[in-house]
Amino acid sequence: MENSILIGGFGGQGVMIFGQLLCYTAAETTDKYVTYFPSYSMEKRGGTANCYVTISDEPIGAPKAEMTDYVVALNSLAMNKFVNNVYSGGTMFINSSVCTEKPDRADITFVEVPASDVAREIGDSRVTNLCMIGAFIAYTDMLPPEKVLATAFKKLGAKHPEFNALNEAAFKKGMEIGRAAKAKKA
Amino acid sequence: MENSILIGGFGGQGVMIFGQLLCYTAAETTDKYVTYFPSYSMEKRGGTANCYVTISDEPIGAPKAEMTDYVVALNSLAMNKFVNNVYSGGTMFINSSVCTEKPDRADITFVEVPASDVAREIGDSRVTNLCMIGAFIAYTDMLPPEKVLATAFKKLGAKHPEFNALNEAAFKKGMEIGRAAKAKKA
Amino acid sequence: MPKIEIEAEYCKSCLYCVEACPKKVIGTTSAVNSKGYQYAVAINPDACVGCAICATVCPDAAIEVYK
Amino acid sequence: MPKIEIEAEYCKSCLYCVEACPKKVIGTTSAVNSKGYQYAVAINPDACVGCAICATVCPDAAIEVYK
Amino acid sequence: MEKIYSRPIGLKKNINGYCPGCLHSAAGKLIMSVLEEFDLLERCTQVDGVGCSANNHTSMDVDSIGSPHGRPCAVASAVKRISPETIVYTYQGDGDLASIGLAETMMAANRGDNITVFFINNANYGMTGGQMAPTTLMDMKTSTTPYGRHAQEHGYPMHMCEVLNALTAPSYIARVTCIDAANMRKARAAVKEAFQHQLDGKGFSFVEFVSNCPTNWGLSPIESLKFIKEKMLPEYPLGEFRNR
Amino acid sequence: MEKIYSRPIGLKKNINGYCPGCLHSAAGKLIMSVLEEFDLLERCTQVDGVGCSANNHTSMDVDSIGSPHGRPCAVASAVKRISPETIVYTYQGDGDLASIGLAETMMAANRGDNITVFFINNANYGMTGGQMAPTTLMDMKTSTTPYGRHAQEHGYPMHMCEVLNALTAPSYIARVTCIDAANMRKARAAVKEAFQHQLDGKGFSFVEFVSNCPTNWGLSPIESLKFIKEKMLPEYPLGEFRNR
Amino acid sequence: MEKVFMKGNEAIAEAAIRAGCRFFAGYPITPQNEIPEYMSRRMPQPDVRGVYLQGESETASAAMLYGAGATGIRAMTSSSSCGIALMSEAIAWMAGACLPVVICNMVRGGPGIGSIQPAQQDYFMATKASGNGGFRMLVFAPSTIQEAVDMMYRAFDLAQKYMNPVYILSDGFTGAMMEPVVLPEMRSDEFLAAERKKNEAWAATGRKGAARSHQIGAGQRPGFPRAPLEQKNKADWEMYESWKVNEVEYENYKTEDAELIITSYGVSARIARSAVDMLRKEGYKVGMIRPIKVHPFPEIAYEQLDYNKLRGILSVEMSIPPLFYYDVEAVVRKRTPIATCLRSGGEIIERSAIIEAAKKLYGDK
Amino acid sequence: MEKVFMKGNEAIAEAAIRAGCRFFAGYPITPQNEIPEYMSRRMPQPDVRGVYLQGESETASAAMLYGAGATGIRAMTSSSSCGIALMSEAIAWMAGACLPVVICNMVRGGPGIGSIQPAQQDYFMATKASGNGGFRMLVFAPSTIQEAVDMMYRAFDLAQKYMNPVYILSDGFTGAMMEPVVLPEMRSDEFLAAERKKNEAWAATGRKGAARSHQIGAGQRPGFPRAPLEQKNKADWEMYESWKVNEVEYENYKTEDAELIITSYGVSARIARSAVDMLRKEGYKVGMIRPIKVHPFPEIAYEQLDYNKLRGILSVEMSIPPLFYYDVEAVVRKRTPIATCLRSGGEIIERSAIIEAAKKLYGDK
Ligand SMILES: Cc1ncc(C[n+]2csc(CCOP(=O)(O)OP(=O)(O)O)c2C)c(N)n1
Ligand SMILES: Cc1ncc(C[n+]2csc(CCOP(=O)(O)OP(=O)(O)O)c2C)c(N)n1
Ligand code: SF4
Ligand code: SF4
Ligand code: SF4
Ligand code: SF4
């Protein structure tokens, strides 16, 4: 089994952290092969940023998959840019707070997560990505949620423990949304 | 017919000028092919300097001949270094004022020219090379003497006309010596 | 009456103008531009005196001032 | 009696010592060393007072001084 | 109603690639504004350094030459000598101008080439992620001075205006900043003066902008201005160092 | 009878490759003499520039590193940091140190690397045949300024001591010459002081020798000393610029 | 050994340190900034006690590396493409002076500043001419982070063995990606001290009573008396020839029964390998030859092919114009058709494109 | 036209000026100093009115050349070996930015500083990798001063035609020697002004009312809108492929009935030619293939040989390890034995050695 995920958004939206949390968790808690590949534009901020994650039972040949099973779009730019990178039958997670016009593709599933709104409610726009991860994990069951959250505590909370509570809240809220979407689909 | 000449001495002894005077004269007054190749050591002065001249009826392939018809040695270092570069049957011109021990080679002719002494008599050590040229031309008949002298006037006298008389004197004295050596040989 | 015009698409939300305006004319709303920046707007336009301080400090030349 | 020793092989005939010596001890002859330099010699050795000026200025460290 | 402050026409109608609050944008705005005032937009060539300054060519509508890292002054010297009627200026970061390009910068200054040099001093290598630059402040942490800049290991901040002032040829040397409206006006005056020197054929003119890098400093834009004021300016005093 | 002036033992028993009367030899003699006095001949590494200075390694019997042209200071900084117990010094001409290697020289100085730099300023590129150097005097003809050095085209002579003095880190900066016995003694004192700074761990020490190039100047050795006195020294005043 | 999930650049830096690298000089350039950054953190730590020195440029950094090499310490630099180009003169000096240093190029798009994205456009610069004078180096081309780490570790020993710079030809992809990796053990201080001691026979850190003073310089073999340059050139040539016997390194992947060979190196080969797997699944008899060192080029790998059986060779690289291709062409000697599958300028080669090109060359199954 | 007896370096400089070169930047290095020195004298003269600019280094000189190229003027630099290596980054930029400049390398011994004496050790640096990113140039390899002069003259036109730097791969021998030479005519001011005018379509000297502002930079084609780097790489590749058809230049010398081919380029070929003559006199059927441009390599010359008739090929160059040899090997494809006759490090190849090696390979007459 090979799962490939492409995560895209603005620089600064936590795209890279999203990918890395998945990877660290998979690498440190499973026997799977894992690769992570980031891709920046020239600008440091304001530009687009995206990353590729592959989690597989076999050695991974192409860490930057052209077509992926999942795309996570944190903004509409990424959504429109990458909508055709999802395999037919695959799933696209969109930050529905900012992605207003859903693209036209009937052969994939869209999971809408109002992550920016959730983050605003929680009180810090920086937890948008944690909400998306929660939704992603709950929907895909790709990794054990508690392990992912533990990784988040370890990697993000080390320097700023004050974020742990916010991150956890966002993650949990995301999971709810993801679970609901999954239930709806089934 | 191809004539190859190797001229060697200390930097500053006028080795390069010797070669160039032959070349300019040949190039500007005959239809022959002419090449000149200088070879310096790293030092600017005090080091050894030598140059290769080839004057030929055919296009010249190797401007730096390994073996030459003539070697002109302005000091003993050059004499000893290049004595084996003369073809058997060839001729070596040596500045006998400073080259005291003639090397041991029976198959070549040595023409001894006390050029430094001549120059000292004339009153300027810088005309040593002109004396050697005079001897060389008189002995070999390679180029018309008046043409060579004219070239010397043109190239060396342009900036320093006061040298013309000294150069001429040295050249003429050299010719005498060269003619005598030739007469002796014949 | 003096007024400012902020071109939302050029604004990167540095908030220099917000900080600089002596009359507290400028602020932000929840609106974002196409690059995702919560751009500055004249939330208090009537207070503007046309001093052009905001435009002067705006690094991205997003503000033009009329008087 | 003070004296200088000039190592002919190190001398390049710059004549700095000749110029510098207050007692005109040093000069050249027609002799040349293996590199062709007309090296300096103490042509007037008895005048030497051992001030070492010649050795001090000799760039090529060809002169040693005894006193 | 009259427009009393306009966007310079030399700026393209797009958002440039600089980070929010980055004063690179401010310097660029001033340069475009002065070129417009002098009616030089059609007569100038901008020589960009490698660094965040490379963003200029996406936003400025003037002839431009992107140069090998550190070499803008050499490039500009050649362009100016070949085409004296062109107003030639370089736009360079501190890594570009004061580190890899130090020899090129100083030799153009020493030759007195009739070019104008804009130097954006943000105390680090912005584009590559905030490494130590010659201009990094003492004790400042950067991605290659993780334990801070220390005199024993890294020496002291480099003061380009002062160093250039040790040369004979330069005709105008000034240090400015863009942290507030008053300073923006002074900075604009310096840019104007520098171009005037070139127009007058006086030789090398140089304007250093004490700038910021909110992204790599890890500060908000507003905080970064405060940092300039409190930390950068004491190390890099503003003023005109030379005006012949 | 006592030997009161000896050839330094660091000099090999051969004739070096410098031209007659070239004061490169004099500088080398002084350095060897001071290293001998400090008993450092076995503890030092000489980093040679490319230029006539490359002659040093045929005549000096100390560990040495021939460096890419202009880079001795970078090479020396690395050697010193790796091996702090070694006394590391560079020996460079003006083309090497002040032109192609200007950035490396200044950055080592700015880092305050604990090395000693000897700079032989002979106002031209000696080894390659006398081209213009940054230090060439005004109006001086060289093989690449056949019509003379002119301010408009070539700028002004570069004063390395003064430029380095604009930096914070260097601990010793001096300019000396070897044109006569008195100056030779002063020059030797400066070399000594410079090494003392390194021994004391004070950082970057720098000694400029105002030197000659009789060969490319087209002057006899004696005339070349006169030229130094009359033309070079007014442009390059001798003295200690810094001594911390 | 424990697996750690690490970024390629950081894994490379750590591997170098574990191999004994105690000096690093470099200058920032994407996509390898994490190497100097990691070094700046790691070198001062108590288990390393090495020197990190940020050069004022690549020219200076390479000169610093040259100086470090002259002290006999294990030393390296890293950069990318145009930064490496700037080091050309100094690299030639290091090869000329026989210094045992390691140079790492995390290649990006070119020519010139090109793009900050990964590419393989420096193949010739690495294998044929990294500077003037016709010298050569062993050139490693890692395909995964694990391989990069293992190569870094060996590189220092080989540099020391041959007294010649060793070159790591990697790319921005391998540097920027993350992957679990097993790091090699840390070389002991004793081992490193002993190695350094050996180098004192030629290192230029003060004569310390040696019979002769030591001179380091391009064209000179450290520890040997000055000799004509040509003699040194000849000794180098002999060494290069010996590499063709002793240092060839390549991988055959599913080549036994292959009717089509894909050949590729570095990151492209990683992607090509998965293309081979997919093609195999579809029943295509495809294999891969992957040079592990790209210099010396593994001619033997292509010599061992049964050209009667082959439908062709597909040469895959992230460079337009192709470069690696010409080395393949030279050894294949028209015995079978060669096709290329290429990307360039920072674009990553797609597995699908490789598969497509392979099928086309394969013809009917 | 009148013959003048001139030094190679000066003849090259004068030929460049007559071809229209109006900008020269360079830095002193033996054995090419007479080129910048000549330029410094000549550029200010009233019939030239060009710009001579002494760079503070080769890096700066190459950057100046880059700037000059960006103005659309005819411009060149010259240097030697390690100096050219220092220009690598900037040369890659010039190729990346499609600037029509001329670069002249008067090769000396290497690697690194090597020796100031002539050599041919930069063959790979010139033909395969003069910088990063896999770009190529037309590379002329003159064999005599006359040929160097004629090539210089043509080089500027070809640079302009292809909008790509042109490289002259000469050597210290050709630069330092003197020989009578016929200089080409001086390009008229009108011609040059017209050429410059054409270049205003892309030159960056101030917009002057152009529809778009002009941007010069590595990876961009002057006068064209910004495009992905890969697209530029592809266009370059196409150009290089077109050279293989349109720009191949070589000489066959007495090859018709030859049973042994000597192959060589540049100064070595000059010496080899006289070896051919001497061997012919002794009755050996020997001929020579001499690439006149060494890039594109004249594969066709070796393709036209009748390998059944050949006893072998002798590859002659002043480089150890050999470099040119590998290009020959690649095109000969083992169809006949290849032997080498080599010198290096500043030693000049001897005619006698060539003759001896040829006889050995020839076997019985
Ligand atoms: C030869 C070379 N070396 C390194 C780089 C990588 N690089 C890109 S931008 C940059 C420097 C950025 O710093 P600075 O000049 O201070 O400008 P800033 O981005 O801070 O404005 C560097 C080193 C390069 N492009 N070329
Ligand atoms: C990279 C490089 N460029 C150029 C040269 C040629 N070169 C040899 S010595 C020298 C400079 C000599 O001048 P300087 O440094 O002033 O020393 P001097 O000979 O006058 O003592 C130059 C440019 C070189 N060897 N390497
Ligand atoms: S013009 Fe003055 S008052 Fe009006 S918004 Fe701007 S800063 Fe405020
Ligand atoms: S200063 Fe300009 S960019 Fe910044 S917030 Fe105000 S309008 Fe936006
Ligand atoms: S990285 Fe720093 S210097 Fe570069 S644009 Fe962003 S804030 Fe400005
Ligand atoms: S060329 Fe000049 S600097 Fe060099 S050794 Fe001779 S006199 Fe001295």
Query: Ligand 2, atom 8: nearest CA belongs to which residue?
Result: F51
Which ligand 5 atom is the nearest neighbour of the CA of E120? 3
Residues G109 and G181 occupy one common structural domain: yes
Q: Which of A41, A43, A44, A45 would best serve as a mutation to test chain C binding (most C beta carbons within 10 A)? A: A45
Average pLDDT value for chain A:
92
pLDDT at H1 over 80: no
Nearest-CA distance from E74 to chain F in Å? Answer: 13
Is the beta carbon of E122 within 6 A of some atom in ligand 5?
A: yes
What is the Cα–Cα distance from H162 to A130, expressed in whole angstroms? 54
Q: Among F84, E66, F103, H97, which residue's Cα sits nearest to residue G27?
A: F103
Band (pLDDT 50/70/90 cuts) for residue H206 is: very high
pLDDT in tens, G304-316: 999 999 999 999 9
Chain D's closest residue to B78, CA to CA, is D35
User: Measured between alpha carbons, how far is residue F43 from residues B154, F56, H99, H274 in Å?
Assistant: 57, 17, 51, 55
Query: What is the DSSP-derived secondary structure letter of residue B125?
Result: G
**DSSP type of residue B11:** T
Do G50 and G122 lie in a common domain? yes
Domain closes at, from G166, G191, G216: G191
Does residue F175 lie within any of the structural domains? yes
Strands H260-264, H286-291: pairing kind? parallel
* Domains of chain H: total: 2
Other beta carbons within 10 angstroms of residue B28's beta carbon come to: 16
* Domain-terminating residue out of H175, H191, H207: H191
Residue E13 lies in a domain: no
- What is the average per-residue pLDDT within B61-77? 93
Cβ within 8 Å, pair A10-C35: yes
pLDDT at E170 over 80: yes
Q: Using CB atoms and an 8 Å cut-off, which of residues 27-66 of chain B contact chain F? A: 42-47
Residue A98, pLDDT score: 87
How far, in Å, is the centroid of ligand 6 from the Cα of H78?
A: 24
* Signed CA dihedral, A61, A65, A69, A72: sign only: positive
**Rounded distance from Cα G28 to ligand 1 centre (Å):** 7
Q: What is the pLDDT of residue B101?
A: 86
Instruction: Name chain H contacts of G112, Cβ cutoff 8 Å.
Output: 89, 92-97, 131-133, 218-219
**pLDDT band at H62, cuts 50/70/90?**
very high
Chain mean pLDDT for chain H = 97
Touching D: B residues 43-62, CB under 8 Å: 46
Residues G184 and G107 in one domain: yes
Instruction: Name residue, tokens 């293939």.
Output: H289
Number of other residues whose CB lies within 10 A of the CB of residue F6 = 14
Counting the structural domains of chain F, the total is 1
For residues A125 and A146, the answer to whether their CB atoms sit within 8 Å is no
Domain check: are G177 and G277 in the same one?
no
CATH code of residue F38: 3.40.50.970
Instruction: Give yes or no for a contact between H303 and H250, defined as CB atoms under 8 angstroms apart.
Output: no
For F108-129, the pLDDT digits (tens) are 999 999 999 999 999 999 999 9
Same domain, H185 and H270: no
pLDDT of res. F97: 98
Residue in the structure block whose two tokens are 């402040």: E137
Tell whether F93 is covered by a domain: yes
Write out the CATH class of domain D3-66: alpha beta
Question: Do residues G159 and G95 lie in contact, with contact meaning Cβ atoms separated by under 8 Å?
Answer: no
What letter does residue E65 receive in the DSSP assignment? E
Enumerate neighbours of A (3 or more CB pairs within 8 A).
C, E, G
What is the side-by-side order of every strand in the sheet holding E63-66? E239-243, E172-177, E205-210, E116-121, E87-93, E44-48, E63-66, H215-216
Whole-number Cα distances in Å, H88 to G89, G129, H93: 9, 11, 9
Residues of chain G with pLDDT under 50: none
| CB-nearest partner of G133 from H81, H94, H130 | H81
Q: What beta strand segments (E) does E8-123 contain?
A: 44-48, 63-66, 87-93, 116-121
Does H77 lie at the interface with G, CB-CB under 8 angstroms? no
Longest CA–CA span in chain C (Å) reads 32
Domain carrying residue H52: 3-191
The answer as to whether G304 is a domain residue is yes
Query: What pTM did the predictor assign?
Result: 0.98
The ligand 5 atom nearest the CA atom of E122? 3
- The strand pairing partners of B49, in sequence order, are B9, B40
Q: For residue range G179-206, list pLDDT tens digits in order.
A: 999 999 999 999 999 999 999 999 999 9
* Bridge pairing between strands H138-140 and H293-295: antiparallel
3 state DSSP class of E6: coil
Inside any domain, residue F167: yes
Q: Specify whether H47 is located in the same domain as H120.
A: yes
Would the pLDDT of A11 be above 90?
Answer: no
- Dump pLDDT digits (tens) for H102-115: 999 999 999 999 99
**Beta bridge mates, B69:** none
Which tokens belong to A27?
Answer: 């690498």
Task: Measure the CA–CA gap between H4 and E197, rounded to whole angstroms.
Answer: 47
CA distance E104 to C52: 39
The predicted pLDDT at position B77 comes to 87
**pLDDT value, residue F186:** 98
Q: Helices (DSSP H) in chain C: which residue ranges?
A: 16-20, 53-57
Residue nearest to atom 6 of ligand 6 (CA): F19
DSSP, collapsed to helix, strand or coil, labels residue H79 as strand
Is residue H184 a contact partner of residue H154, using CB atoms and an 8 Å limit?
no
Q: Which pLDDT belongs to residue A49?
A: 86
**pLDDT score recorded for residue A46:** 57
Distance A115 CA to ligand 4 centre (A): 26
Q: Quick check: E4 and C66 CB within 8 A?
A: yes
- What does the alpha-carbon distance between residue H349 and residue H347 come to, in Å, rounded to a whole number? 6
Q: What is the pLDDT of residue D28?
A: 94
At A36, the pLDDT band (50, 70, 90 cuts) reads very high
E65 within domain boundaries? yes
DSSP chain F: --EEE---TTB-SS--SSPTT-THHHHHHHHHHHHHHTT-TTTEEEEEPSSGGGGHHHHB-SEEEE-STT-HHHHHHHHHHH-TTSEEEEEEEHHIIIIITHHHHHHHHHHT-S-EEEEEE-SEETTTT-EE-TTPPTT--BTTBTT---HHHH-----HHHHHTTSSS--EEEEEE-SSHHHHHHHHHHHHHHHHHHHTT---EEEEEE---HHHHT--HHHHHHHIIIIIHHHS--EEEEE-
Q: How far is C64 from chain A (nearest CA, A)?
A: 23
Domain hosting residue E107, numbered range: 23-243
Residue B152 has pLDDT above 80, yes or no: yes
* Phi/psi-derived region of residue E206, left when phi > 0, alpha when psi is between -120 and 50, beta in every other case: beta
**CA atoms of H5 and B21, how far apart (whole Å):** 11
* Whether the Cβ atoms of residue H200 and residue H19 lie closer than 8 Å to each other: no
Chain centroid to CA G130: 12
- DSSP type of residue G309: T
Instruction: Report d(CA H214, CA H97) in Å as an integer.
Output: 12
- CB distance E166–F165 less than 8 Å? yes
Structural domain includes residue H219: no
Closest CA to F77 of G61, E147, G16, G220: G61
Q: In whole angstroms, what is the distance from residue H73 CA to residue G178 CA? A: 48
Strands G51-54 and A2-10: unpaired
Dihedral Cα B44, B45, B48, B51, nearest 10 deg:
60
Choice from G27, G29, G57 to test ligand 1 binding pocket (greatest atom count within 8 A of CB)? G29
The pLDDT confidence band at residue H263, using thresholds 50, 70 and 90, is very high
Contact B/G (≥3 CB pairs under 8 Å) = no
DSSP string, A34-92: EEEEEEE-SSSSSSEEEEEEEEESS--S-SS-SSEEEEEESSHHHHHHHGGGEEEEEEE
Residue G318 identity (one-letter amino acid): M
Cross-chain residue pair F55–B42, CB shorter than 8 Å: yes
Q: Is C27 in the pocket of ligand 3 (CB under 6 A)?
A: no
Among protein residues, the one with the nearest Cα to ligand 1's atom 8 is E51
Q: What is the model's pLDDT at position C42?
A: 97
pLDDT, tens digit, 9 for 90 and up, residues A37-77: 998 765 555 567 899 999 999 999 999 999 999 999 999 88
Give the CATH number for residue H63: 3.40.50.970
Domain end: H172, H191, H210, which one? H191
Choose, out of F143, F215, F217, the residue to mutate when testing the contact with B (most B CBs < 10 Å): F215
Under the banding of pLDDT at 50, 70 and 90, the label for residue D33 is confident
